[in-house]
Amino acid sequence: MASSHSSSPVPHPSSGGSEGLFQKDRDPSSLHYRPIHSLPDVCPKEPTGKELGPSVVADQHRWTVYNSKVNLPAALNDPRLAKRESDFFTKTWGLDFAETEVTPSFYLPNITKEHFGPYLQETAQREKIHERCKNICSNKDELDIFMKPDFALDDPTTFNAVLPWSHFNSAGGKSSRDMASSRLLQEKLSHYLDVVEVSIARQISLRSEAFFHAMSSQHELQDRLTETARAVAVLRGRTAAIERIMCEGPLRALRQALTRSNCARLHNKLKLMAAVHQSQPTVQLLLSTSEFVGALELIATTKEVLQLELQGIHSFRHLGSQLCEMEKLIDKMMVEDFSMYSRSDLSRSLEDDGQVMEKDRLESLVFGLLRQRKLDFLDIYSDEMILAAKSIVTQSVFDSVSQIEEIDTDIVTKLADQMRLMTFPQWFELLKSVFENFILFLKRIKATLSVVRNVVLEALDSNQKSRLLERAAAVGLTEAPGTPLNQEEAELAYLTHEGLFISDALNDAQLHLGASTGQEQSSTVGPRQALSRMDGCGSDSASGTTESSSSREHAFQGPHFGGVEYIFLEHIFEVNDLELGRVANNIQELLYTASDVSHDRCVKVLMARAKDGSLERLSSAEFVFLSQAVEGFVRDTEKLCCRRSVSLRGALQSQANRFVHRFHEERKTKLSLLLDNERWKQAEVPAEFQDLVNSIADGRITLPERKPQEERKPSDYLHIDGQKYAVVGTVLLLIRIFLEYCQCVNDIPSISTDMLTRLSDLLKHFNSRSCQLVLGAGALQVVGLKTITTKNLALASRCLQLVVHYIPVIRAHFETKLTPKQYSVLRHFDHITKDYNDHITEISTKLMAIMDSLFEKVLSKYEVKAPMPSACFRNVCKQMAKMHEALYELLPEEQTQMLFLRINASFKMHLKKQLARLGVHHDGGPQHGLVTVDVAFYTENVQSLRALEKLDLNMAEIWEQKR
């Protein structure tokens, strides 16, 4: 009983139907199924006759990819791969298949142990709790054996575990109780077996009707197949008769028509091959006439025909490589031809007319270079332009030197040395000639680059029209009869035409096509007219100009280069719009470079002349001429090239700074020499200086032109705004010097700030040096004066006042030459004015100090006794009269009065001190009367001096009231 149960087969679904029937496997071991599992201890459901659901027991052994024993990595890791030349993969996938290292994905991170750290930390506590629970609560489920993957009842161990006979067998033998349990178990298992057999029998009984129905259907199907076979035989006989009677003749006619069509295509192919065979001689003929674009077009078309129409023909296997080599040769020829054109165009005489040399040739070259993507051709023109600029300077110097007999070119060979031997007028004429030549040079370059730019823009316009045509074709615009040829017809006409020009071939082909269709071209709308309607007369994006429909049609047909009309075929330009735009920008940059190169070469001429300092020694008028010439050239180049080049302006500014430095040093040195020889005596004022200050008063801050005038007597004073100025000769020359600074600023406004700084330094130098010589008594050693008199001091003060009078005039003049951002430098004049006023105050203080020391010395010996007036007061009045005589003719009345008021205050202070020492009080005594007489004498003498009559001396303050 036990063995029968253990050998029961496992049911599997039958592959022959979907009725849920089961059949017994013949050899379970050959199918590699897992061991048999025991059924659970429950009764199966009763069959209902319906389709059974999926069986957990049966479906678990269904085959999956995990049962595969050979996979793709195993097939790829073939150990025989290195021992033979090819394998399955190279035969199937080609010779390029090779084992390569698989690079790691950029989107997958490199997983390390640290990535699992958070998860392990999170589950560690749960795992500990789980293990503790397993140890505490042991697994009491004895049915775990049924869940094992190797469960099989034919295994004795498994059988004994399922049926533990040890429970029925006692150690000393079988007891009655154990035997009873054994019988009960066997009866239970027998009951299960009976249940299974009854279920199987019932299932068979339920399916019997379907079985007999299938058998009867099989017989009926065999009868119908027999009838169908007879009908098919009849149909085949009739079809054979129809084929024999009705099809063989027409099919023979169709085959002959197809053969004829193939022969015609073969004939056309042979004609195309003959035309392609003649492409190389035609290219040579085009190159002999320098028709590079036509040759390139023919090569491109031939290569395209070889690739599309004649691919695989053995006789043309080397033609493609030959055409490529010929195309490379044409590239070199075009580059060399463009270089020769640039050299000849830039080196020809500048006296020629401003027309572009061989315009058609230039357009053809540029068109060909653009087509071949040789976009660096502008670099060739740039190099030739630099060489031509150098030769312009060389030729100009040679022409100028050859006209000067004093310069021996055999001895002086260098251009710079030859220019330095010229006089300034000769060199200035040379410089103007160089400027004129460079203006003509830039005009020629601009005209040439304009032609190049027009070709580039026309190519850009052609690309845009090509895209419009493709877009129009994409939306369904088709070409009507009588319209221009399509690409294939154009290529065929191009290759089969025996003439030289493609335009003739296309015209002939179009005429032939129009005659064959019999329709007029004007009655149809082709792509070109459709493009005109789509595009309209709007703005051209390439050139920024507007054009009519007719001009657009002409542009589409092709530019006339070298007398030949080239047709813009599809994709004629491999250069995209961005690259063409860059070329157009490079053309403008090349014009800028031409301007910069011209300025740089002019700088060379300027610096070669300035090397020995000759430009620094120019007069103000000569430097003005030079500055005006340079500024004129810079303005002309800016207007011509729209480029503000700074090199020439910078060089001129550098020379201007040196000129200003030399200009200033000369005048500063001259002023220093004048001051060192100045004896600080009043000088006569020539009439020309009076005229000079009069012109300043009229607002003309310039040096007047020297004109022959009648001799006029000099004046003792300089009359300015109703005041008299007694001056020394140095100050007269100082006025002329700062007018020279102002005149230089008028001529060269760019040096205003530098001139202002230098003039400020000059005024400061005059102030400090005059202070050293007069107040500091430096004139005693320098000039040999015996002493510095009050007259010297007053004269110095008046000269300083004259300079202070003109500082606002100078400031206003410079302010008109400065920009608002430069107004901050005007603060120098405020500092200078303060310094001068402080100096004038110090001189006034010095005059006061002289009289103060005199009063202290004289009044310290004063005694109140007869005779009156006393000798002391007579001496004081005598010294004050001398002081007044020295100052009255030099200083104005207001300053004289103010000075003597201060002198009087000093006298009262010393007299008061002396009376206090002598004990004389305002008490009406004899001493008081004697002092009153002396004071009256002093007051009368002081007020008798000119300009001091109304001076309020107020001598009552000398008395102290008696306590």
Least confident of 55-64, 150-159, 631-640, 679-688: 55-64
Give the Cβ contact number of residue 955 at 10 Å: 17
Q: Is the pLDDT of residue 541 over 50?
A: no
Shared domain check, 888 and 787? no
pTM: 0.53
344 in a structural domain: yes
- Mean pLDDT computed over 394-411: 72
Q: Is the pLDDT of residue 560 over 60?
A: no
Strands 564-565, 718-720: pairing kind: unpaired
Q: Who has greater pLDDT, 427 or 181? A: 427
Q: Who has greater pLDDT, 83 or 404? A: 404
Supply the range of the domain harboring residue 630. 334-473+577-647
* Range ranked top by mean pLDDT from 33-47, 518-532, 538-552: 33-47
Domain total in the chain:
3
Position 33 scores a pLDDT of 38
37 in a structural domain: no
Position 212 scores a pLDDT of 78
Strand partners, 720: 723
Q: Is the pLDDT of residue 548 over 60?
A: no
Position 615 scores a pLDDT of 77
Shared domain check, 915 and 897? yes
Band of pLDDT at residue 171, cut at 50, 70 and 90? very low
Position 768 scores a pLDDT of 94
Over residues 938-956, the pLDDT tens digits come to 888 888 888 887 777 778 7
Over residues 303-325, the pLDDT tens digits come to 778 777 777 777 777 777 777 77
290 phi/psi in degrees, rounded to 5: 60, 30
Shared domain check, 437 and 425? yes
110 in a structural domain: no
* Range ranked top by mean pLDDT from 372-376, 559-563, 673-677: 673-677
Angle at Cα 750 formed by Cα 748 and Cα 756, nearest 5°?
Answer: 90
Position 176 scores a pLDDT of 67
Position 497 scores a pLDDT of 43
Position 36 scores a pLDDT of 39
- Mean pLDDT computed over 439-447: 87
Are the CB atoms for 927 and 831 separated by under 8 Å?
A: no
Shared domain check, 671 and 640? no
Over residues 777-788, the pLDDT tens digits come to 888 888 888 888
Q: Who has greater pLDDT, 475 or 911? A: 911
Q: Who has greater pLDDT, 467 or 900? A: 900
Which CATH number does the domain housing residue 938 bear? 1.20.1280.130
Band of pLDDT at residue 491, cut at 50, 70 and 90? very low
Shared domain check, 425 and 365? yes
Q: Is the pLDDT of residue 929 over 80?
A: yes
Least confident of 84-93, 572-581, 643-652, 897-906: 84-93
Band of pLDDT at residue 588, cut at 50, 70 and 90? confident
Quick one: how far is CA 256 from the chain centroid? Answer: 70
Q: Which of 816, 847, 878 delimits the end of a domain? A: 847
779 in a structural domain: yes
On the CB side of 473, CA atoms within 13 Å amount to 11
Q: Who has greater pLDDT, 719 or 339? A: 719
521 in a structural domain: no
Shared domain check, 586 and 722? no
What tokens appear for 812 in the block? 């206003």
Over residues 790-846, the pLDDT tens digits come to 999 999 999 999 999 999 999 999 999 898 888 999 999 999 999 999 999 999 999
Shared domain check, 896 and 781? no
CA-based end-to-end distance of the chain: 167
Q: Which of 895, 902, 894 is nearest to 855 (CA)?
A: 902
Band of pLDDT at residue 607, cut at 50, 70 and 90? confident
What tokens appear for 377 in the block? 């051709």
Give the CA distances from residue 84 to residues 72, 80, 850, in Å, rounded to whole numbers and listed in that order. Answer: 20, 7, 126
Please name the residue that has the structure tokens 């017809």: 489
Q: Who has greater pLDDT, 238 or 101? A: 238
Q: Who has greater pLDDT, 268 or 567? A: 268
Q: Is the pLDDT of residue 216 over 50?
A: yes
Q: Who has greater pLDDT, 673 or 85? A: 673
694 in a structural domain: yes
Q: Is the pLDDT of residue 101 over 80?
A: no
Position 172 scores a pLDDT of 46
Least confident of 19-33, 73-87, 459-473, 844-858: 19-33
The average confidence (pLDDT) of the chain is 75
Least confident of 180-184, 342-346, 749-753: 180-184
26 in a structural domain: no
Q: Who has greater pLDDT, 387 or 421? A: 387
Position 410 scores a pLDDT of 58
Distance between CA 156 and CA 162 in Å, rounded?
10
Distance between CA 311 and CA 292 in Å, rounded?
26
Shared domain check, 744 and 666? yes
Give the CA distances from residue 829 to residues 803, 821, 841, in Å, rounded to whole numbers and listed in that order. Answer: 11, 17, 18
Q: Who has greater pLDDT, 423 or 692? A: 692
Which CATH number does the domain housing residue 673 bear? 1.10.357
479 in a structural domain: no
Distance between CA 418 and CA 658 in Å, rounded?
23
Distance between CA 418 and CA 403 in Å, rounded?
12
Least confident of 406-410, 561-565, 642-646: 561-565
Q: Who has greater pLDDT, 40 or 416? A: 416
Percentage above 90 pLDDT, the chain? 14
Shared domain check, 635 and 719? no
Q: Is the pLDDT of residue 164 over 90?
A: no
Give the CA distances from residue 514 to residues 510, 568, 871, in Å, rounded to whole numbers and listed in that order. Answer: 6, 21, 141
Band of pLDDT at residue 726, cut at 50, 70 and 90? very high
Over residues 494-534, the pLDDT tens digits come to 444 444 343 444 455 455 544 444 443 333 333 333 223 32
Shared domain check, 467 and 362? yes
Give the CA distances from residue 717 to residues 535, 725, 727, 728, 732, in Å, rounded to whole numbers and listed in that order. Answer: 87, 5, 7, 10, 11
* Range ranked top by mean pLDDT from 46-50, 64-68, 360-364: 360-364
Least confident of 222-236, 409-423, 709-723, 894-908: 409-423
- Helices in 403-537 by DSSP H: which ranges? 415-420, 424-474, 487-496, 502-517, 527-535
Shared domain check, 661 and 616? no
Q: Which of 847, 875, 898 delimits the end of a domain? A: 847
On the CB side of 532, CA atoms within 13 Å amount to 15
Shared domain check, 882 and 799? no
Percentage above 70 pLDDT, the chain? 73
Position 799 scores a pLDDT of 94
Position 154 scores a pLDDT of 81
Position 354 scores a pLDDT of 63
Position 6 scores a pLDDT of 37
Q: Is the pLDDT of residue 662 over 70?
A: yes
Least confident of 81-90, 171-180, 188-197, 614-623: 81-90
